[in-house]
A and B are shown apart, each in its own frame.
Chain A
C-alpha cells in the first residue's frame, strides 16, 4: 500500500524488459546466482527463517505460555534466573512467550492479507490484460477510482464493523490492497499474450479461462513474488497502526503491533515491554525489506 504508485513505476520499468522474466531457465538461474551474491539479502533470508522457526517452535521450549499469569511475578524486569528472560507484563505474563506468539500472529495476518490481495490482484489484472479492449478499459478505470479513495479511512470503518475478528479484518484489508498488484499483472499480461506459445494455445482451441490460468498466470510468478514480498511488511505496519488505535487482536491473543503499542505507553517505567517486541518487529521488517530489494535487483537485468 505505502508506495503503490512509485513501486509500480519502478516495477513497470523493471518489467518492461521483463518480458524476459518468462521462464528462460538460464535467466532464472542467473537471478538466483545474483541473489546469492547479495549478502544483505542472504543474511536477511537466514534471519527471517530463524525468526519464523523461533516463533513457531520456540513456545515449546520455554517454560511459560502466553496467557497464564505468574502470580508471583508482576512487571518483573528481564532476568536469566527468574525464568522470565524477557520479563513479565502487568498481568504477570511471560513477555518472551507473548512476543513469540505475537510474531506468529503478525506474520499470519500479513500472510492472509497478502494472499487475498494476490489472488484478487492476479485474477483481475490477468483478465483485464488478456481480454483487453473495452473490458480492460473499464476494469482499469475502476482501479483508478479505487486509488482515489482514502484507503485508511475505509480500513478504519471496516475495523469498526469487523473489530471483533482480526483475521476477517485482514482479509478485508487484503481485499483493498490488490490494486497495484492488478496493474502490474495487467501490464505483464499484455506483453505475455503477444508470445507465440499463447498464440499456439489459442490456435489449439483452448478457452480464455484456461489460457489465463494455465499459461499466463504461471508466467507472472516472478513479478508477483517480488511485489508480495514488499506487501507483507506494509501489512505488518498497518496491523500495528490499527493496534495503536485500539483495534488490535482480542486478548489474550496478541500481535507485535499490539505489544509495541502497549509498550510505548510505559517506555520509561517498564522499558522491556517495548524494546523486545520492537526489536522483533524491526528485525522482521528489515529482513523482509532486504529480501524484497534483493529479489527485485536479482530479477532486474540492469546493474543497480
Chain B
C-alpha cells in the first residue's frame, strides 16, 4: 500500500509540471500587468519595477528562473502583498481554508450520509420528501445567494451569529461559512447515499439477511452501509476540490483570509507568483486528498485492490 501511495505521488510530478507550465504562460497571455492601475506609472518607474522583479527578462528566462526557485522550495515574491512572500502568505491562509473546508467536508459527509439513509429508509414517505426538499435547495441555490440571506436572517434579524470575520476562530464565526460551504455537498452526498442504499437493500444478500430475521436497523448498519458508501467515497475526491471552489465565494462574502480569496485577488491583479503558488498548492492538496480517497475506496471495495 505504501509503495502504491508513493508511486501515485511520484506520478503527479509530471502533472504538476504541466500545470505550472500551462499556468505560467497562460497568465502572461492575459492582457494587463501587475503594475497597471487607476494611477498610471511613469515609464521610468514601470521599468524600475520590472527590473526589480525580473519581469524585464525574456519570458522563457523568467520561466527557467521560476522553475529553478520552485525546485528549491521558493515560490517567489508576491506583488499584491509585498511584505509577504508567496509561501508566507499561503502559510497564513492555509489554516483558515483548511479549518473551514475541513469542518464543512466532515459535516457534509455526516449529514449527507445520515440524510441519505433516512431518505431511503422512509422512501417515498414524509421524511423522505422533507429531506428531498432541503437537498434540492442545496443543489439549485447558488452559494452567493444563500450566504447573504443567511447573514441577514441569522446575523441581523435573529442576532444569533456574527455576520462575518474570523473572530479568533470562535465557533459562532465558523457556523455560517461552514453551512454555506457544506450545503451543496450535503445535498449530493445524500442523493448518492439514498440511491445506493435503495439499490443495496434490493440485493440478494440483504434479502438473505432479512429472511434470517434481522431487524431493519441492524441490516442497515451491519450489512448495507459499507457497500452503500462506495459511490459516496468516490465522490469525496472531487468533492474536496469543489469545496475549495466554494471557498472562493465564502471567503469573499464572510471576509475570511484564505487561499481561495488569495487566488482570486492574485488572478485579478496579475500577481503571477501568487497565482502559480496557489495552483501548486491546490494541486498538491487535491492529489493528497484523492490518494486518501483511493485508499479508502480500496478498503471498501476489495475488487479495486486486485487491479
Contacts and interface: CB of A to CB of B under 8 A. Distances in A.
Contacts of A158: 26
Interface in B17-57: 18-19, 23, 26-27, 29-31
B240 to A, nearest CB: 11
Nearest to B12: A148
A160 B267 contact: yes
A240 B142 contact: yes
Give the bracket for the number of chain A residues in contact with chain B: 35 or more
Nearest to B203: A302
A262 to B, nearest CB: 11
A contact face: mostly helix, strand, loop, or mixed: helix
B248 A286 contact: no
B220 interface: no
Interface in B196-245: 196, 198-199, 202, 230-232, 234-235, 237-239, 241-242, 244-245
Contact of B267 (A13, A157, A260, A303): A157
A155 B7 CA distance: 29
B290 A148 contact: yes
Interface residues of B, number: 55
A304 B195 contact: yes
B131 to A, nearest CB: 15
B152 A6 contact: no
B149 interface: yes
Interface string A24-40: 00000000000000000
A158 B198 CA distance: 41
B134 interface: no
Nearest to A237: B142
B267 A244 contact: no
A261 B268 CA distance: 18
The 4 closest A-B pairs by CB, nearest first: A6-B235, A285-B140, A152-B245, A150-B282
17 contacts: A5-B237, A10-B196, A145-B15, A148-B286, A150-B283, A152-B242, A157-B275, A158-B26, A161-B26, A241-B249, A260-B142, A264-B144, A265-B148, A267-B149, A278-B145, A304-B195, A304-B198
Interface of A: 2-6, 8-10, 13, 145, 147-153, 156-158, 160-161, 233, 237, 240-241, 244-245, 257, 260-261, 264-265, 267-268, 274, 278, 281-282, 285-286, 289, 302-304
